[in-house]
A and B are shown apart, each in its own frame.
Chain A
């Protein structure tokens, strides 16, 4: 069942305007939050068990705690570079409730002692940028942003920055490089952004959903938020349901919600006559689950980790028996080889190599040893680079090839897909 902590009023078109937002209690939390001590807010967020909703699932309160005690300036960056294939939740959140994010950012900025925030929006979301800019303008006019917010002496300025469409800029240090005006490439860690981030100053980077979730947490209290989900996966989360499903879309459910229910109840099940073959549970970087695994999986960090995959950004891609796994993997390897920034050798060369091997198979030139080679190459890309893109490219390959090896072997032997009628993805160089 959906629990709409954040999305309760998303169906109301007025909710994206300041007046509409305030009519439903918007900015009330801000007013109380500004009377609290910053540490109290951090403690509350820690107690709520909120984990980063962008993909890595790192506890938000703990991340905030990494900032040095003193020193200005420090920056709060909102990662709205939603690029993980299958993910479209941040877009809807920003379209439907820009003020929710702004309110969350002001509170979070106050909590971590930042006076300047940026929302880094992915380049393709130009209409979202317009909505955000309009909302920020309204917030400034109403005195929620700028100097001396609501007479409390707290300052917070907020700006929107447009990315240029690079997937890698969703990685926090690459996002920082891009925001600094440089080529969007991840930076070596250490130093970590909390110590040296944007313009070499202490910086916190949080996902849209994470920052927005701060509002209901402070509104209802950490305990109320923690009622949902499990001990380690608290609260609600948006899931973007896509693929071979009757009712694709964004659904806000409590964590630990059964994946089966997500597909068959909220998602309306598969198209008639189709059988479930696989599910990618957390965006294209997450290792794929077989239908059997999907039947028993629950949507929380622990269960996913236990099944060797991850909750990621919450993008659930449903794959039915009309799809060819070789074909699907080719789409993914092409994506990662296109998006590798090219800095680290294993990723730069490895993503291209994987892509070429999969396409060789797809074009009938595959050799049986290529299947093992895919595993070897992917294995040696994992954990060897500055950022996680290399892993993100390797993990789907490893899971596709191990779990659906028969389809790959069939393709190599026969030169065609095991799935009748599966069309070649027309990939393009």
Chain B
């Protein structure tokens, strides 16, 4: 644990820490582009300059290991000038197209120039022309002129995805990122390159031009795409969710997430959701409010007993499982509770990075609650009982992300053998239209609309907070269970629809203002 002095303050750092790591731990913002904690050190942007006592030249903080007694400073004029000029070198050939650039508002060049910039551009020569709108693959587009050649994306495909599609071609100021001959940037993690691109060079085909960064709010959650449980940040506004990015968690996903996980936000948006409960009668489907529907079905469910069955997918929170299983076993006196496993054969599959074969975020949590309540019935038991007509009413907690549930038609057919099917469902699926007469579809809240925890593949329980509300009338599984059992609970519809419920608006504003303070005092920089 070497001791060192950073900007006059003596601190102790971890063995082997680099100067940039030590400074980040101290909350000192060091200008940088190429350094990324999840990648190897490239040392090419030359921005993280620091003065180290005894060294004649300024040094890069990312490739300098802290040694005992090192005296580090990044406030001297020498360092400031080096950073200013370093930024200017980045910008001399960079197009000034911020108004039409998708990265504007969250751009490393904009942010760092505001903080460290030179403010008197002296470049009067013609800029270097490079390729625009290069289609790198199914998910990513490259604008070479905006690229600052930090090489993060190249190192990502080399070191993390290990797919090696990207390289830097040509030399000098004609260097350009591209894919190797005949290759496409096409791997399960390709969109991470967009996240780590500090500028608007790499943009996501899914997200580009759909929203301005400053019109989006953020909220953290847990990805429900598989049993890894990547920590994510979701971006939304009153029009819905627009994208998902990974949040660093050393224990779970590191800095990354897979491309599949980034698509799941689509299932939570209104277009894809059941907004009202549907009841199929002889005369056809009729729609009522979800709470009312849950109360109405309680007449069929309340009787409980052996004629009632509950089917659960691993897509709900542990807290919801505890509630619904508690109510079904104790109040409704049924042990007919079953686990709907969608892709058993690939459950143990793993790509050695993040993607796991179990495409449910909380299979472990479900099984833990099963064990606690001594539920031991198998899927075969359900099939036999349904065939024999022993089960009259099935309550199904359907899957939230439909991408990995390919067998919905078959399941609808199977459950239709019961007289009544009560299907609790978040996202729309055409298969449900084939549910038999006397069936209900009751809309559920999605994972971003509720609190709770997911237990991931290795048994780590991760708590997530509610991000926002999209369908305010939709129920959580717990609420649905209470209402179906005939319990009296009061459900207040959310008033803060699609606003940050936990943070009042003015607080959001003041935080935003604080974050961007340098904008307001720009004149004094």
Residue numbers of A with Cβ under 8 A of B are 166, 183, 188, 190, 337-346, 348-353, 356-357, 360, 367, 369-370, 373, 376, 380, 383-386
Contacts and interface: CB of A to CB of B under 8 A. Distances in A.
Contact of A352 (B45, B63, B167, B172): B172
Contacts of A342: 149, 168, 170-175
A345 B172 contact: no
B126 interface: yes
Given A344-B46, A353-B92, A386-B43, A380 B172 contact: no
Contact of A373 (B44, B46, B86, B122): B122
Interface residues of B, number: 35
Most chain A CB neighbours (cut-off 10 Å) among B41, B128, B170, B173: B173
Contacts of B44: 343-345, 386
A351 B58 contact: no
Nearest to A354: B125
28 contacts: A183-B167, A188-B41, A188-B63, A339-B171, A340-B171, A342-B168, A342-B171, A342-B172, A342-B175, A343-B42, A343-B44, A344-B44, A345-B46, A345-B86, A346-B86, A348-B149, A348-B173, A349-B92, A351-B173, A352-B128, A353-B92, A353-B123, A370-B124, A380-B82, A384-B49, A384-B85, A384-B86, A385-B46
Interface string B310-345: 000000000000000000000000000000000000
B109 to A, nearest CB: 12
B68 interface: no
B81 interface: yes
Contact of B122 (A337, A349, A376): A376
B52 interface: no
B89 interface: yes
A341 B174 CA distance: 10
B31 to A, nearest CB: 12
Contact of B173 (A337, A376, A385): A337
Contacts of B257: none
B122 to A, nearest CB: 6
A348 B176 CA distance: 12
A345 B128 CA distance: 14
Given A376-B122, A384-B82, A341 B58 contact: no
Contact of B85 (A344, A352, A380): A380
Nearest to B150: A345
Given A188-B63, A384-B86, A338 B172 contact: yes
Q: Is the interface of B mostly helix, strand, loop or mixed?
A: loop
Nearest to B84: A380
Given A342-B149, A343-B44, A349 B126 contact: no
B450 interface: no
B122 A341 contact: no
- Main SS at interface, chain A: helix
B124 A367 contact: yes
Interface in B111-159: 122-126, 128, 148-149
A386 B59 CA distance: 10
A168 to B, nearest CB: 8
B29 interface: no
B466 interface: no
A349 B41 contact: no
Contacts of B89: 345-346, 348-350, 353, 380
A375 to B, nearest CB: 12
B46 A346 contact: yes
A384 B175 contact: no
A319 B41 CA distance: 43
Interface string B32-75: 00000000011111110100000001100001000000000000
Contacts of A384: 46, 49, 57-58, 82, 85-86
B90 to A, nearest CB: 6
A360 B126 CA distance: 10
Contacts of B82: 380, 384
A419 to B, nearest CB: 25
A348 B172 contact: yes
